[in-house]
Structure 1
Amino acid sequence: MEWFGRILLNAVFFLLLSLLIPSFTVVGVGNAILASILLALVNMLVRPLLILFTLPATILTLGLFLFVINALMLLLTNKLMGEGFIIDGFGTALLIAILMSILNLFLNSSNSKRENRRRR
């Protein structure tokens, strides 16, 4: 159930970011959910191999290269989606990856605070 919640949350993030970034377009909620599912599958299948192959670059950049990997995963999702989910270039994908990471960071920190309060 948590996986499905994250899928929906990423779909909402896609819709919000498409309103803020002119070179990023998501046409409809259905396309946002489908893109979110595809991104989750790509992250499960391709991303671990890419991280393994680029480990020296990731270590050298103190982890910042992971944003590049996330941007590449978004571009792959863009290619698989076709119409309805359009990222105009690598710079846009990198910006989306950074903003989604920040949004997820805030969300995860608020969830962990809520969990800590529940445990007490």
Structure 2
Amino acid sequence: MRLIIRLLISTLAILIAANLIPGVVVASTTTAIIVAIVLGILNTFLKPVLQILALPITIMTLGLFYFVVNVFIIYIATYLVSGFSIDGFIPALLFGLVVSIISGILGMFLD
């Protein structure tokens, strides 16, 4: 049950971010659900590997390269999910930040 609620929170965050940020297109609610699932899978399995590989660069940039890894994960999701597109690096960066903030705020009510 908790997993479904987390999925709904992520879906809602994705829909809100798509409406707030110009350059982010989510075709439908179904697409937002699929994006939430794909981002969850990518964040679980691929992101830790990328963070370890990028650790020297992340240290050199005082942690700012972590945002680039996050944008890369979002770009992979846009490639995997039809109906989800982002027009550039800045919209992808803002999308990741907005989704994280909204998911965090809504997730506090879950705990």
Q: Same fold (TM over 0.5)?
A: yes
Gaps of 5+ in 2: none
Between the two structures, name the one with larger relative contact order (CA 8 Å, sep ≥ 6). Answer: 2
Q: What is the aligned partner in structure 2 of residue 74 from structure 1?
A: 74
- The within-5 A match list for 1:97-112 is 97-108=96-107, 110-111=108-109
- The within-5 A match list for 1:18-97 is 18-82=18-82, 84-97=83-96
Identify which range, 95-104 or 10-19, moves more after superposition: 95-104
TM-score, normalised with respect to structure 1: 0.80
Gaps of 5+ in 1: 116-120
- The CA deviation at 1:36 is 0.6
Q: Could you list the per-position Cα deviations for residues 84-119 of structure 1 after superposition, in whole angstroms to 9, with x for gaps in the alignment?
A: 1111122211111122222233344x44xx85xxxx
TM-score, normalised with respect to structure 2: 0.86
Amino acid paired to 1:66: Y
Aligned residues, how many? 111
Change (3 A) 1:64 1:2: farther
Alpha-carbon RMSD: 1.9
Q: What is the aligned partner in structure 1 of residue 13 from structure 2?
A: 13
Percent identity of paired positions between Structure 1 and Structure 2: 36
Q: Which has the larger radius of gyration?
A: 1
Q: Could you list the per-position Cα deviations for residues 17-43 of structure 1 after superposition, in whole angstroms to 9, with x for gaps in the alignment?
A: 111112101111100001110111111
